[in-house]
Amino acid sequence: MERVHNFNAGPGVLPEPVLRQAQQDIWNIAGSGMGIMEHSHRGKVFEKVIADAEAEARSLAGIPDNYRVLFIQGGATQQFAMVPMNLLPAGRTADYLITGVWSDKAVKEARKFGATHTALTGEGSKFTEIPAPDTIRYSDRPAYVHLTTNNTIYGTQWRTEPPVPAGVPLVADTSSDMFSRPIDVSKYGLIYAGAQKNLGPSGIVLVIVRDDLVEVGPATLPTMMQYRTYAKEKSLHNTPPTMAIYVVGQVLKWIRDTGGLAAMAARNEAKAKVLYDAIDESAFFKGTVASNSRSLMNVCFRSPTEELDARFCAEADKKGLAGLKGHRSAGGMRASIYNACPEASVRALVDFMREFERANR
């Protein structure tokens, strides 16, 4: 059977060359006579797989030497807890920029471990825009500032990093836009990204953390909750999800082979433009977020009624356009057009939108 156009929000579409290489390597990797999933995580073959994955991440994003690259389980959701467990000392406050469902979950988890302060919230606009950075009100000397760079559910995205008080680490959940554009790692204290949107399969999180923050967590934390464990043991304290790390490495290699982050960003901008232009030109479909906050990864839009939204998604699905239903908390439609989503998929969606509009307006 042919593959469909996959607009799933996560886990999402993966690059075809990566899937084809994985097919081979599941059977027999590097002429070793066994597949990637069957290798010891302490053996030579996997040692190279994880070292290559880290090296690809470092060269793609220009990660400075004073940052560790870690592979951690538990999804981005576990980072909602690990970040405050490690970086929020007793008596201090962590500042959160709330721009949607994920940052809200992150701050709620942080409150279990210490004081938090909402320095910005998009609640006033029902999270349909990223509020202006000059409306941020930081607390006095926060332990860190946390933001969500791309809001997967509402379809908004920070264009650039907000200003942060001098010396305060910026912590970013980049789960749905990591490696979709160049990133200046030196502006951050810690970056985390669940892999299943832009980087690979679910079950693994890429964490990039500055050396001085690796060691600040209390040594009394559970071993698996301390960043220092992963830094000291090169993410091999216990058996990691070897297959997931392998796929992340292959996806990063694919990004390099296709021109790196600047080329990726150019393709993502072109792809998103095709879709946003179609929405703007239509009197039938409407974008749901402010134009200055539009995400290049998750494009949210609506038809005139909820009933038509449902019909649109059902008919699209029949035509091989999968995963277009918006998140239950946002409604409408959402096309997730991550790195691996080909422009041809976006064009097929736009063609279907025009056809549906003609039939239903």
Ligand X SMILES: *Cc1c(COP(=O)(O)O)cnc(C)c1O
Q: 178: helix, coil or strand?
A: coil
Q: Cβ-closest residue to ligand X?
A: 75
For position 147 contacting ligand X by CB under 6 A, the verdict is: no
Q: Is the CB of residue 306 less than 8 Å from the CB of residue 331?
A: yes
With residue 99 as reference, give the H or E element that holds it: none
Of the candidates 95, 104, 177, 197, the residue annotated as catalytic is: 197
Of the candidates 25, 95, 104, 173, the residue annotated as catalytic is: 173
Q: Which is nearer to ligand X, 44 or 111 (CB)?
A: 111
Rounded CA-CA distance 109/77 in Å is 9
Rounded CA-CA distance 120/139 in Å is 11
Q: 171: helix, coil or strand?
A: strand
Cα–Cα distances (Å) from 137 to 57, 145, 162, 164, 221, in that order, read 33, 11, 12, 10, 31
Q: Is the CB of residue 244 less than 8 Å from the CB of residue 233?
A: no
* Minimum gap (Å) between residue 3 Cβ and ligand X: 23
Work out which of 7, 102, 113, 188 binds ligand X, going by CB under 6 A: 102
For position 116 contacting ligand X by CB under 6 A, the verdict is: no
For position 77 contacting ligand X by CB under 6 A, the verdict is: yes
Work out which of 86, 152, 336, 345 binds ligand X, going by CB under 6 A: 152
* Minimum gap (Å) between residue 206 Cβ and ligand X: 11
Q: Is 44 a catalytic residue?
A: no
* Minimum gap (Å) between residue 173 Cβ and ligand X: 5
For position 200 contacting ligand X by CB under 6 A, the verdict is: no
Q: Is the CB of residue 268 less than 8 Å from the CB of residue 297?
A: yes
Work out which of 86, 93, 156, 176 binds ligand X, going by CB under 6 A: 176
Rounded CA-CA distance 190/207 in Å is 7
Of the candidates 102, 104, 158, 253, the residue annotated as catalytic is: 102
Q: The tokens 């072109």 sit on which residue?
A: 270
Q: Is 173 a catalytic residue?
A: yes
Task: Enumerate the active-site residues.
Answer: 102, 173, 197
Sites of contact with ligand X (CB under 6 A): 10, 75-77, 102, 148, 152, 173, 175-176, 194, 197, 202
